[in-house]
Amino acid sequence: MDDTTTTVAELKTAVAAFRDARDWAQFHTAKDLALSIAIEAAELMELFQWKTNAETIAFLAEDAGAARLREEFADVLIYCLSLADALGVDVSRAVHDKLEKNGAKYPAGLSRGTATKYTDLTGPLSPG
């Protein structure tokens, strides 16, 4: 399985099957799934905490560091897919809608190469 052959729907199905085999749906409320996303995201962030960019690159170049990153990333994604399933969110539609909205806020002509917040972008294509 890889990104080129696996759909979001297949991932959601696999996550739900794992949950259902353990009778965990009863614990997967929207609140608890949202909390779990934040908790797992904090564990992901902890891998980068107090490291310089060079130290982060070195850590991720190691097999053990890369494996820890994949595990924490997967935990976040699994809980995101679980929340989408619980709330009936179409992940692909949500991502495409958000990219369209962000595209309007951050026109490529104004935002290319800058981390400036959309409210501070200036020029003939300025949003709002």
Dump pLDDT digits (tens) for 14-71. Answer: 999 999 999 999 999 999 999 999 999 999 999 999 999 999 999 999 999 999 999 9
Superfamily covering domain 8-120 = MazG-like (1.10.287.1080)
Separation of alpha carbons 9 and 56, rounded Å: 32
Query: Helices then strands (H, E): number in the chain?
Result: 6, 0
Q: What's the residue count for the chain? A: 128
Dump pLDDT digits (tens) for 92-111. Answer: 999 999 999 999 999 999 99
Asked whether 37 and 79 are in contact (CB, 8 A), the reply is yes
Q: Which two tokens stand for residue 126?
A: 């300025």
| DSSP 8-state symbol, 124 | T
Hunting for tokens 């190469």 — which residue is that?
113
Separation of alpha carbons 110 and 10, rounded Å: 37
Separation of alpha carbons 105 and 118, rounded Å: 6
